[in-house]
Amino acid sequence: MTFYITTAISYVNGAPHLGHAYEAIATDVIARHMRQRDEEVFFLTGTDEHGEPVADAAHAQGVTPQELADTNAARFKALMPLLSISNDFFIRTTDEEHQRRVQEVLQRVHDNGHTYKGLYEGWYCPRCADFKVENEILEGNLCPIHEIPLVREQEENWFFRLSTFQEPLERLYAERRDFVMPPVRFNEASAFISSGLQDISLSRARLNWGVTVPWDPSHVFYVWFDALLNYYTALGYARNGHDLTPTFWPANFHVIGKDILKFHTVFWPAMLLAADLPLPEHVFVHGFLLGADGRKMSKSLGNVLDPFQVLDRFGSDALRFYLMRDVAFGADGAVGMESVTARYEGELANEYGNLASRTIAMIRRYRDGVVPDAATDPELAEAFRGLTANVTVLMDGADVTTALERIWQLVRRCNRYVEERAPWTLAKDPATAGALDETLASLAEGLRVLSVLLSPYLPTSTATLLEALGAPETSLPAAEFRATGGGRTVAALEPLFPKRDR
């Protein structure tokens, strides 16, 4: 089976921020989990480099759009390994192969009769690069997202006949309730469609920073169609000379934020239908990260959490864990350094880290570093029953937060098990040697299973720990709690989550 998952591609008019990191991490957790299931996974991310926002930002900085794109695309690309993102390709919409394929697909849309030339007049937000329809406009003619004044624009454009896709889209939404997730976003997209679709511009005549319209070279494509098509074009050239499209198209998951819902849940499926291309399975819409004060993060409010600062102080596993645990995937959530510290100390260090260090230390102290070859405790085995199946179902629905909570309940259960069994007491009396063997074998097994399940979230520390346990296998079948186990030698382990200066 194959699994194709994408993030949105980031605008290069600014530097990467925590919202970008959040989306990439969540998508990475799902991709890594699917690889554990032995799926053939392709995970795409990248940068969105054309259009007015980039051209304007470049102009303001006195550089060419290409220069600005090169500088910032490099920053986004460099962020991925810092976050332990396992993307299979990084697309830039200025890639020649991308541009060629955009032209090919949109030429087909044109040839299929879904375009016409007309005069466009409407309210336009230069930051969204989007014309707003009446019911989206805030009082005082403001952009609902940026809250800046909209500009009245008029120009001759090529139009895409979105209105003719009203019925096909209504049918799509009637037939596939999970096309958009979570349900609240499905309802939002569905309501937008029911309110009546208007044709939209497909090209810009005034701008030249974009992909040239092949049948009318005085125009460039409207940046959103160029950008959306990245999900399709990348497969054509990501692996030099080998077209991955037949293997991976259509995508299984597009992961996006709530501000770009309309483009992905309405324009995108209509465009694919117009180009005779199969539709993706799911669009998952996540919420927004807010400052610790619950307001939109902004430099002027001083409530911005900088991903680089968190990475510096706590490392990538901690940032990944924090974001997946603290902000329910799909909802908005407030984030701040204090709560990062609390999760790091309270859960990573004191719960998982502590379970790991005491399990290994006790095996070394009481059993010369060899996991006892004993039957594991049926009661603990029972607590683990169904865990992997549960996580699998949750991940199918992209519910990375609930899956993590489910795993974490077992981290806590194992720590309680240590207290209940008090191995340090069992070790004092030779008559309880059998009970100590069972306890240590069970803890080693529990810790191993938990680490396999946690590896998509904490790829670095779980790899270190599984190596120390002598059990580096991370495929999902290895996450079953075994009735017996042992005989393996464990290695000394440095604290996985050492104390940090405040």
Nearer to ligand ME8, 41 or 256 (CB): 256
**Per CB under 6 A, which of residues 226..245 are in contact with ligand ME8?**
227-228, 230
Residue nearest to ligand ME8 (CB): 257
Shortest distance, CB of residue 289 to ligand ME8, whole angstroms? 4
Shortest distance, CB of residue 129 to ligand ME8, whole angstroms? 9
Closest of 478, 487, 320 to residue 404, by C-alpha: 320
Interaction between residue 9 and ligand ME8 (CB under 6 A)? yes
Among 256, 355, 381, 443, binds ligand ME8 (CB under 6 A): 256
Nearer to ligand ME8, 285 or 371 (CB): 285
Among 98, 110, 114, 125, which one carries the catalytic annotation?
125
Element (H, E) at 282: strand 282-286
Nearer to ligand ME8, 297 or 447 (CB): 297
Among 3, 4, 5, 20, binds ligand ME8 (CB under 6 A): 20
Which of 18-26, 168-176, 242-250, 392-400 is the region at the interface with ligand ME8 (rule: CB under 6 A)?
18-26
Active site residue 414: no
Among 22, 90, 209, 222, binds ligand ME8 (CB under 6 A): 22
Q: What is the DSSP letter of 14?
A: S
Interaction between residue 281 and ligand ME8 (CB under 6 A)? no
Active site residue 17: yes
* Tokens standing for residue 190: 């569905």
Nearer to ligand ME8, 130 or 437 (CB): 130
Residues 105, 123 contacting (CB under 8 angstroms)? no
**Per CB under 6 A, which of residues 282..321 are in contact with ligand ME8?**
288-289, 297
Closest of 381, 358, 356, 353 to residue 438, by C-alpha: 381
Which of 225-233, 438-446, 475-483, 490-498 is the region at the interface with ligand ME8 (rule: CB under 6 A)?
225-233
Q: State the burial class of residue 398 (Cβ atoms within 10 Å of its Cβ: 0-12, 13-18, 19+).
A: buried
Active site residue 299: yes
Residues paired with residue 289 on neighbouring β-strands, in sequence order: 333
Residues 280, 254 contacting (CB under 8 angstroms)? yes
Among 3, 4, 8, 49, binds ligand ME8 (CB under 6 A): 8
Residue 437 Cα to chain centre, angstroms: 41
Nearer to ligand ME8, 256 or 349 (CB): 256
Residue 352 Cα to chain centre, angstroms: 23
Closest of 475, 325, 335, 334 to residue 399, by C-alpha: 325
Among 4, 10, 400, 485, binds ligand ME8 (CB under 6 A): 10
Interaction between residue 19 and ligand ME8 (CB under 6 A)? yes
Other residues' Cβ atoms within 10 Å of the Cβ of residue 502: 8
Interaction between residue 48 and ligand ME8 (CB under 6 A)? yes
Interaction between residue 257 and ligand ME8 (CB under 6 A)? yes
Three-state secondary structure readout of 230-250: HHHHHHHHCECCECCHHHHCC
Nearer to ligand ME8, 53 or 485 (CB): 53
Q: 3-state DSSP call for residue 331?
A: strand
* Tokens standing for residue 393: 């179902």
Interaction between residue 23 and ligand ME8 (CB under 6 A)? yes
Active site residue 264: no
Which of 19-27, 182-190, 355-363, 380-388 is the region at the interface with ligand ME8 (rule: CB under 6 A)?
19-27
For every residue of 457-495, DSSP letters joined together read T-HHHHHHHHHHTT----SGGGGSPPSEE--PBP-----
Among 98, 110, 128, 264, which one carries the catalytic annotation?
128
Nearer to ligand ME8, 237 or 417 (CB): 237
Residue 89 Cα to chain centre, angstroms: 14
Residue appearing with tokens 């604290």: 495
Other residues' Cβ atoms within 10 Å of the Cβ of residue 491: 12
Shortest distance, CB of residue 213 to ligand ME8, whole angstroms? 19
Closest of 452, 423, 425 to residue 440, by C-alpha: 423
Nearer to ligand ME8, 304 or 383 (CB): 304
Size of the site for ligand ME8 (CB under 6 A): 19
Nearer to ligand ME8, 329 or 366 (CB): 329
Active site residue 146: yes
Among 143, 219, 254, 264, which one carries the catalytic annotation?
143
Shortest distance, CB of residue 480 to ligand ME8, whole angstroms? 35
Residues 157, 202 contacting (CB under 8 angstroms)? yes
- Give the integer Cα–Cα distance in Å for 242 and 490: 43
- Give the integer Cα–Cα distance in Å for 185 and 285: 7
Shortest distance, CB of residue 78 to ligand ME8, whole angstroms? 16
Interaction between residue 423 and ligand ME8 (CB under 6 A)? no
* Tokens standing for residue 221: 């494509």
Interaction between residue 188 and ligand ME8 (CB under 6 A)? no
Residues 106, 145 contacting (CB under 8 angstroms)? no
Q: What is the DSSP letter of 287?
A: -
Beta strands in 105-145 (DSSP E): 115-125, 130-132
Active site residues: 17, 20, 125, 128, 143, 146, 296, 299
Q: Which residues bind ligand ME8 (CB under 6 A)?
A: 8-11, 19-20, 22-23, 48, 227-228, 230, 256-257, 259-260, 288-289, 297
